[in-house]
């Protein structure tokens, strides 16, 4: 009987040991799968964040031609002297378009913004000329070539 009990206890210990060993293998396997799943999820999250950042960047960079033109700023070549003003309007887009046309024709065009009675006006101007006579000659040239009215102003 003692021999049976010892064999029974030995068998029980063996079953428990083998069972625990198998369970430990299962636990290790589950832990490994969990780590791999977390790594995949983290990589996926990182990729999603990167894609979102690229999408935001692309939204900022993709302006329509009109939006891009309206966002441009044209600066005067200098201060002092005289300039020839050939137009004015209340939209930057139209003023920038006109300035682009004269820049393409080889003139130093720029847009000057002023506020009058809480309204923005965008003036299309050309040149930074030293004398009133030079400004008059440029104004007459523009009138002859492009049929525009002009006036001469201090370039401030």
With CA atoms as reference, report the closest residue to 110 among 142, 138, 72: 72
d(CA 24, CA 30): 10
Q: What is the pTM of this model?
A: 0.53
pLDDT in tens, 47-76: 566 566 556 555 556 766 666 666 666 566
Q: What is the pLDDT of residues 87-102, one digit of tens each?
A: 999 999 999 999 999 9
101 vs 141: CA distance, rounded Å: 16
pLDDT band at 15 (very low <50, low <70, confident <90, very high): low
Contact predicate 153/83, CB 8 Å: yes
* 28, pLDDT greater than 80: no
Residue 19 and residue 42: Cα distance in Å, rounded? Answer: 34
Higher confidence at residue 36 or residue 11?
36
Q: So what's the pLDDT on residue 10?
A: 58
The mean per-residue pLDDT over the stretch 106-116 comes to 90
Q: Report whether pLDDT(14) > 60.
A: no
**How many residues does this entry show for the chain?**
156
pLDDT, mean of residues 16-20: 56
Q: What is the mean pLDDT of the chain?
A: 76
Confidence at residue 81, expressed as pLDDT on a 0 to 100 scale: 85
For residues 110 and 144, is the Cβ–Cβ distance under 8 A?
no
In this predicted structure, the answer to whether residue 44 has a pLDDT above a threshold of 60 is: no
């Amino acid at each position: 009987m003692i021999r049976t009990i010892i064999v029974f206890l030995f068998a029980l210990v063996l079953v428990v040991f083998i069972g625990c060993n198998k369970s430990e293998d299962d636990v290790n396997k589950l832990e490994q799968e969990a780590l791999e799943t977390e790594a995949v999820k983290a990589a996926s999250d990182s990729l999603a964040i990167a894609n979102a950042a690229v999408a935001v960047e692309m939204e900022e960079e993709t302006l329509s031609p009109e939006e891009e033109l309206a966002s441009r700023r044209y600066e005067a070549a200098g201060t002092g002297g005289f300039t020839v003003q050939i137009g004015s309007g209340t939209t930057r887009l139209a003023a920038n378009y006109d300035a682009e046309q004269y820049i393409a024709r080889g003139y130093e065009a720029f847009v000057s913004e002023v506020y009058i009675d809480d309204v923005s006006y965008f003036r299309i101007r050309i040149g930074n000329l030293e004398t009133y006579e030079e400004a008059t000659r440029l104004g007459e040239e523009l009138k002859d070539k492009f049929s525009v009215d002009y006036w001469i102003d201090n370039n401030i």
